Chain A
């Protein structure tokens, strides 16, 4: 406590003397000019918003409709931010305002411009909250969206909030999820980087790099975004209050076996002072007890909210223990125990239907890696280009990270904590492909630490980066990365965006369809399952084998009734002759004639966009189906607008 007061007093004295000597000049450079730039960037962004028409997006997504003023806003912000980092007496609050504006420009723009919730999975998440809000419970054995009922932490919390706040649904605010999660992540990132270095320039530059490379898009209204924040809080607590003092680490290592080469490598890594070691707090018994209790609660919530984050955390904690960053050996064991208990006792409903493919994919490195990438052979040209930019950005940050690490090492700073946390998620690729997303999740969990290492290129030590070269390099890098980031992050917006017309169609179908109806679509990308989702059966044509899709498209009016009558309730498209577990992981065993109360086919603009972008259905699928159904007495249009059409199937016996 005494030290803290002294530090504050010293800082106050230094600031007073600077202001006294330099007076208005310092204030002008560090506050007024940056504020002018920030205001300029804000105005440029603000005037951009009315010019953006999401309905005109092409295959490159939102970037294709952004006006020049939008890019100018980011350019002005980048220059101002980097110059301010480089300033000797820059103001932390001013830097913070830059980042806040960056978050709103990048993540707030879609919500402001669209006015509707973007991303199909966000609608499903709203649907799970809606389920809990109405039922006050979960159904772990439910067939559809089963995983969410087995890891319901995030959804239960939101359902509780909705009810006490008098909100009928999360739809009114879920679109702001990316802004919210990036804001709370910002706090965590600042603290995290402060534990790794005492160079504030490096802290702020690492934050900037993080946001410019965070193109994965897992920051929406989702349990993974929620658990990601808690992951960072856990790492902060461990590094801040449970970090082993370097001297203790050395003493412990000396007790180990000295003969093996492995030991020499190990001691090289661990017997090294932690660079810029400002982060280790002296703790008292009360603090340690408090934070152990906090960690137990955080572990429990992470284990019960998301499937993947606990594994990432176990890996990170294990590495921190093995390499003596912390001496709390029980931490990874405790996290593993809580996770195991949750899976065995609480998530058994999920394991029943999914264990076979989880076990099958363990260790299948090549299959898991390949399963993560989109099939470029069938994707649209725009998506092929975007996929290449994605890969380029991912490779670039890792290369920058390696170069930064080398620069720090040459400067006498061995950042093994950042390295351990950057590589901790990598072994997860061995486990499974996680529905084709594992490699992206690995990237996401590594990113803060790789961004920190990348920032070290410019500021490897406190007395480095003083010349003009540093801000020039950082600005040039930002100007190269920003367009790439925007292409990657906004690249799928044509299918992520749902126009008010599409939302209106979704509202209609859930108003008119009686309980027990079948709701069929081409692909899943439309605002479905957001309300009373358990009352309906959902199927999408693109999940069928190619020969069956082709068969349907030869004569949709004749073929579709067969699928609308025989699919299994609650499953994903099951026919009497098609029961392959690869395509029906949740196959409930119900086959044959289905007794739906009604059957509908929904076709929307976003579905057409998704099918075209991913190549999951032939180019003319929607037109073919619409032309055929419009002539059939078995189908009638119950609703249509510019962006959506709903057909109802009328069973007339033989079609």
Chain B
């Protein structure tokens, strides 16, 4: 498998697993942990990889920040708009992650040019 596809695949698998456990609602500790880790890291990671941060720790910290922020904006939006639907919210986060993963595969075909720096 190409290295360029490893992250998009990992992100997509994590997103799908979170979706599955959210649907079955009986995943116990494993299910709760997977959904937790998904909401904590994946939506942000799907996009931080697009901007080639380089330092992995820095990338993870920023990814966690962005993931928490995306989740909060969604949750707060649903609260204030009186459209509370956490499953739909998770669905949006999964969608955001999958789009990010897809964009990573597209970017893999045209790597960032040195001239852009």
Contacts and interface: CB of A to CB of B under 8 A. Distances in A.
Interface of A: 1-2, 4, 132, 135-138, 152-154, 156-157, 159-161, 163-167, 173, 184, 187-188, 190-191, 194, 226, 229-230, 233, 236-237, 240, 281-282, 284-287, 290-291, 294, 297-298, 300-301, 304-305, 346
B66 to A, nearest CB: 6
B116 A230 contact: no
Interface in B80-116: 80, 82, 84, 86-87, 89-90, 112, 114, 116
B114 A301 contact: no
Given A2-B114, A160-B90, 14 more contacts: A132-B84, A137-B79, A153-B72, A156-B78, A157-B76, A160-B89, A164-B87, A165-B22, A165-B36, A184-B64, A294-B65, A298-B65, A300-B73, A301-B72
B9 interface: no
Given A166-B32, A230-B68, A301-B69, A187 B25 contact: no
A232 to B, nearest CB: 8
Nearest to A187: B61
Contact of A136 (B25, B26, B62, B79): B79
B39 A161 contact: yes
Interface residues of B, number: 46
A2 B113 CA distance: 11
Interface string B54-74: 110110111011101111111
Contacts of A237: 62
B32 A165 contact: yes
Contact of B52 (A1, A132, A160): A1
A166 B71 contact: no
Contacts of B32: 165-167, 173
B50 interface: yes
Nearest to A299: B69
A306 B90 CA distance: 23
The 7 A-B residue pairs with the shortest CB-CB distance in the complex, in nearest-first order: A136-B84, A233-B65, A163-B86, A156-B75, A166-B25, A160-B75, A165-B32
A161 B86 CA distance: 8
A135 B71 CA distance: 19
B65 A229 contact: yes
Contacts of B54: 1, 4, 281
A501 B21 CA distance: 34
Given A156-B79, A164-B86, A187-B57, A282 B117 contact: yes
A610 B78 CA distance: 39
Contacts of B78: 136, 156, 160
Contacts of B57: 187, 190-191
A384 B55 CA distance: 46
Contacts of A163: 86-87
Nearest to B23: A164
A490 to B, nearest CB: 28
A409 to B, nearest CB: 28
A445 B15 CA distance: 34
A138 B84 CA distance: 11
A167 B33 CA distance: 12
Nearest to B77: A156
A160 B73 contact: no
12 contacts: A160-B71, A160-B86, A164-B35, A165-B27, A165-B31, A173-B32, A191-B57, A240-B58, A284-B112, A294-B69, A301-B72, A301-B76
